[in-house]
Structure 1
Amino acid sequence: MTGPMPDSGARAVDFSTTAIRLARRLGPQRRLVAGVVGLSLCGIAIGVAGPRILGHATDLVFNGVIGRGLPAGMTKQQAVDAARAQGRGTYADMLSGMDVVPGVGVDFAAVARTLLLAMGLYLIAALMVWTQARLLNVILQRTLRSLRRDVEDKMHRLPLRYFDNQRRGELLSRVTNDVDNTATSVSMTVSQLFSSVLTVLVVLGMMLSISPLLAGITLLGVPVSLLAVRAITRRSQRLFAAQWAATGRLNAHIEETYSGVTLVRTFGHRDWAQQRFDDCNDAMYRAGFGAQFLSGLVSPATGLIANLGYVAVAVVGGLQVATGQVTLGSIQAFIAYVRQFNQPLGNLASMYNMLQSGAASAERVFEFLDEPEESADGSGVALSPNGSGPRGRVEFRDVNFSYRPGVPVIEDLSLVVEPGSTVAIVGPTGAGKTTLVNLLMRFYDVDSGQILIDDVDITAVDRSALRSTIGMVLQDTWLFTGTIAENIGYGRPDAGEDEVLSAARAAHVDRFVDTLPNGYATRVSDDGAGISAGEKQLITIARAFLARPQLLILDEATSSVDTRTELLIQRAMRELRRERTSFIIAHRLSTIRDADLILVIQAGRIVEQGTHSELLTRRGAYWEMSGAIEQ
């Protein structure tokens, strides 16, 4: 490979810690796990007993063949002594280790019974292994379902700050690709891993019972294999981590390019986007190729070492049979055990690349699950007791806030908004207008000071309860794949059809819906393809109508509609704002002219406040901005 190695963007996977965390997630399924362990032990033990039984059948046949060639009537010891007298010492040693009866041939009935016993045990073992595989699949799928649910729950507990600092494609890669890869790797490897480990242990016990010497020869290859695997995987682990980090960057680029395809083409950045894709794709290729190539060396390396051990066992075992230390059937069984011993080790080696890939993805998922969450919710304090009079009084009391330490955005801001009044907020870009809204919604918490609604500190109120009382219409519209009626109904899911239609008429959605072939049943996509930006804005405004909020926030809500539609929306907004406390963030004078109070914010401070006519009369900051606002 040539070219620079990809920037991993992540530390090398901590395989053992990640594996332990995955194993702990099996805790709720401990009873099924115990059942799987029991079935696996029984099934593997019965299956491993097969070669010994088949070895006994071989001994029956071999003993019969040798016994039939010896003179009838003599004992085995006499046959051994006769062979030694004839100078056939090796043959005599072999006879001494056999259960042979001179003059008696093969007992085919005993051979048949032995083979039927082996067949029956193999069937029982297969049934047990199949049952434990089914149970293990249930355990894994339940565990992975729980992991997906935890990831989804985590999404809703993370602060808005986290999403502001994450590329959307990278985040989607973690919660989709990485979770899916973890699920695939775990489901495909854990069952084999579990049965392979148990098989190795049980087979080792059987080998030791036959010949400790041969078992020792077989075990000599294990540490050599482990050293080879360790040397290879130390590099491949880093590459697997780099591969999935590169996957996240590639997905982020694709998502951004697809979402902004119009801008990419408008500004002629197609070549740049293609080059950026090629760079990300090449980085992913280099990491993926290196990871797969190195991990692919594990199986051949362990296979070579295992084959060398197999040759040594065959040679030494043949000498032991010749000297009468073990029987031919025992060596046959031992050789079968060597295969059974090496096969799971080979399986472990061949699946190691998948294990590493899954561990790298799991580590990224766990990093996501370990992200700091939103501060604890309030104790469920009601915003306003029943019968306490008009609701919707908002007070900012000595509020300070910064997105980054040492860079204040809001400084010592105090403000009282009376119930039912409309407050317009104007100021240059970056002055803190939208930040005030984010603080009111508790998307962020203040660094110091208080925000009170109806004299209740919003930090003492459950976030969902707080936000359910606030309606919000943003400049950036958001629709989901569904019908227009369903998108409007998102504002209040329990609303009836008549209420949805009433909200649509109030927001003048009916003006364009009536021209559509399917009316309110027309389906739209999440990007709103097929309808204009202004029509999308009208749908989101109808959503706010339906929600019937106590407080209303309009952040450039009419920026995407034409002048005639804006007049209709302003008329509807006046009705919507009736008896509701409203905050309007806008740049057009026509939008804020009739506000009860206009706040001019610069550098996080209120520099002017008053009505439209009052501020123009003062000829201050608002007057200076009025030309730009009019435009």
Structure 2
Amino acid sequence: MSKKSHKSPNISTIAKLRALLTRRDKVILLFLFIATIFFSIMETIGISIIMPYITFASNPSLIFSNDISKRIYEILECSSTLQFMVFFSVILVAFYLFRILYGVAYNYALNRFAFRKYHFFAYRLFCKSVDLNYADFTRKKTDAIRHNITDAALKASFYVQYLLQMFSEIFTIVLMYGLLLITSWKMTLALSVILGLQVILITRFIGGKIKKMGAIRHAMDTRFHEIISKTFGNFKIIKLKGNQQDVQKEFESASFTRIGAEILTQTLLPMPKLILETIGFSVLILSVVYILVCYDSAAAVLPIISMYALALYRILPAVTKILQNYNMMSFYGNAVGHVYEDLLYHTDYEDNEPCEFARSIELRDICFGYKEGKPIIKDFNLTIHKGEKIAFCGPSGAGKSTLVDLIIGIYKPQKGEILVDDVKIDNHNLRSWRKKIGYIPQTIYLFDGSVADNVAFGSDLDEARVIQACKKANIYDFLCEHDGIYTRVGEGGILLSGGQKQRIGIARAIYDNPEILVLDEATSALDSATEARIMEEIYGVAKDKTLLVIAHRLNTIEHCDRKIEL
């Protein structure tokens, strides 16, 4: 345990990130890694080449005392040191232009990889959420799922970006450090000790605080989504209760905590830069004093001072950037953890093998419960013949909806089996079985779009089929008084009456011409007259279909062939 506690806080997060990357991602990362090394080498050359350039410019005779410069002079067949320096200057300018182009291409590749991972994470999280079985979905918070798809996936991609940028700066520092050791190893080691101590203190105290703020920010972001969803989802109730102030206070508390974490984080992030620059330039001043004491010649002092000035000018921002990237990785580490947990969450594979329903549905010794040891349905047996109209009755909590959800494949029995024409329903044919179901729930969810979009929801939109479904549901005449099947329904169907929403729900259920219709207390919220009309319409629509009705009221089930009491 003690060994684990001394680990870097990002080690476990990097391991999770590695598990999330595909083989192709790792190949791309290898190429980016090589590109990073090459970029660091160019950065080092860009700094180190200034020292001999200044030396030769201040004292051209030194060109002949250096073996490399002398050899280049002879190869180029220069007629004078001036010609050599002009050529040197042109090469130097060309090199810096190439470095700019390479830097742009490198940063594009880096950002392209990182943000494509955002697309990948968001898409996979969405697919994973859709593939959840219904029992697992009901146990998860919808706002948390939404937040992970939209926010955590983006932060996880930022984590990848910061990690790559940190490695880039590390290589640059290593190469620069090597040059400084060659220039003056004593002064470089002294500089290393001073800067190293500062880095340790910054990562230990500032980094830990930023990681904590990241956890608070993630929790408050999720809370934000929850408050907004429940507020606008119950807007009418809030108006009736007049408790706007309570909702506003709850929002204010979450917002204040979230912003407090953000303020502290943004305050702490620039601190490493300020600390390191102050120390770095102080060390540079002391280095100048040291060099002036050790060297009597100004010609010798100038290139060395220039070398250290340029190296520190590049090293200090690099160290600062490494610390900032490290701190941001700590801040976004929670997001990587949430993406990792959601993507590795086990979901059952469900296939679409053909499933024929010509004779009967049979339930054999079905057992099911939401909690272990507390079954709602136990050793239940039932046979439903094709075309039958079956009513499921009983008090609230008796298991009516649960039983029907088992029949239509929303839940899976914990014991026993469901057979359709003597073929067991399992993960191989479950999707095919579900496609035979038309479901009309008690609460019809309509999104802010047209009637056509809501009716065809989840299927390809066919205007003729939408019109036919709306006619069967007795809603088409009403739509013709407005914009036809492209009449807007409003968020949650707010522009429609309760009866109109139910009819659109019926049209949606029969749009794909299902073999089985399920009515889950779909008319219980309507007045008696409207309920009677809609039930007549449902029985008319379902005359050649198998109908499963969950209801409390007797008038709802009077046309059913059988009544199953639970």
Question: TM class, shorter-chain normalised?
Answer: 0.7 to 0.9
Aligned to 2:196: 223
Q: Aligned-pair distance for 1:480?
A: 2.9
Q: Which runs of 5+ in 2 are unaligned?
A: 1-6, 66-79
- Are 1:442 and 2:409 matched, yes or no? yes
Aligned to 2:24: 28
- Are 1:198 and 2:165 matched, yes or no? no
Alignment of 1:323-402 (within 5 A): 328-373=302-347, 375-377=348-350, 381-384=353-356, 391=358, 393-402=360-369
Q: Distance in 1 between matches of 2:557 and 2:185?
A: 92
Max Rg structure? 1
| CA 1:492–1:233: 2 relative to 1, 3 Å | closer
| CA 1:302–1:433: 2 relative to 1, 3 Å | farther
Q: Distance in 1 between matches of 2:420 and 2:27?
A: 51
What residue identity is the alignment partner of 1:216? L
Q: Tell me whether 483-492 or 503-512 shows the greater mean CA deviation.
A: 483-492
Q: Tell me whether 212-221 or 38-47 shows the greater mean CA deviation.
A: 38-47
Question: Which of 227, 236, 240 is equivalent to 2:210?
Answer: 236
Question: Which of 521, 538, 543 is equivalent to 1:556?
Answer: 521
- Give the aligned length: 543
Aligned to 2:56: 60
- Deviations, residues 578-622 of structure 1 (Å, cap 9, x unaligned): 232221011222110121111121xxxxxxxxxxxxxxxxxxxxx
Q: Aligned-pair distance for 1:182?
A: 3.1
| CA 1:587–1:481: 2 relative to 1, 3 Å | same
- Are 1:476 and 2:443 matched, yes or no? yes
- Are 1:544 and 2:544 matched, yes or no? no
Q: Distance in 1 between matches of 2:120 and 2:111?
A: 14
Q: Distance in 1 between matches of 2:286 and 2:409?
A: 72
| CA 1:256–1:409: 2 relative to 1, 3 Å | same
Q: Aligned-pair distance for 1:539?
A: 0.7
Preserved CA contact (<8 Å) 2:284 2:308 = no
Aligned to 2:148: 174
What residue identity is the alignment partner of 1:173? H
Q: Aligned-pair distance for 1:528?
A: 1.4
| CA 1:53–1:296: 2 relative to 1, 3 Å | closer
Q: Tell me whether 43-52 or 25-34 shows the greater mean CA deviation.
A: 25-34
- Deviations, residues 131-156 of structure 1 (Å, cap 9, x unaligned): 22222222223322221221111112
Q: Aligned-pair distance for 1:108?
A: 4.2
Q: Distance in 1 between matches of 2:39 and 2:8?
A: 34
Aligned to 1:426: 393
Q: Aligned-pair distance for 1:423?
A: 0.9
Q: Aligned-pair distance for 1:252?
A: 0.6
CA RMSD of aligned residues (A): 2.9
Aligned to 2:42: 46
Preserved CA contact (<8 Å) 1:420 1:579 = yes
The alignment-based identity, stated in percent, is: 23
| CA 1:420–1:567: 2 relative to 1, 3 Å | same
Aligned to 1:527: 492
Aligned to 2:228: 254
Preserved CA contact (<8 Å) 2:446 2:492 = yes
Local SS of the residue matching 1:482: coil
| CA 1:488–1:66: 2 relative to 1, 3 Å | closer
Aligned to 1:298: 272
Question: Which of 490, 497, 502 is equivalent to 2:468?
Answer: 502
Question: Which of 445, 463, 477 is equivalent to 1:511?
Answer: 477
- Deviations, residues 56-94 of structure 1 (Å, cap 9, x unaligned): 232234436999xxxxxxxx9xxxxxxxxxxxxxxxxxx
- Are 1:16 and 2:32 matched, yes or no? no
Preserved CA contact (<8 Å) 1:424 1:584 = yes
Q: Distance in 1 between matches of 2:460 and 2:56?
A: 79
Question: Which of 102, 127, 130 is equivalent to 1:153?
Answer: 127
Aligned to 1:98: none
Preserved CA contact (<8 Å) 1:399 1:414 = yes
Aligned to 1:92: none
Q: Aligned-pair distance for 1:32?
A: 4.2
- Are 1:586 and 2:518 matched, yes or no? no
Q: What TM-score does the superposition give when structure 1 sets the normalisation length?
A: 0.79
Q: Distance in 2 between matches of 1:114 and 1:52?
A: 14
Q: Tell me whether 571-580 or 448-457 shows the greater mean CA deviation.
A: 571-580
Q: Distance in 2 between matches of 1:116 and 1:321?
A: 32
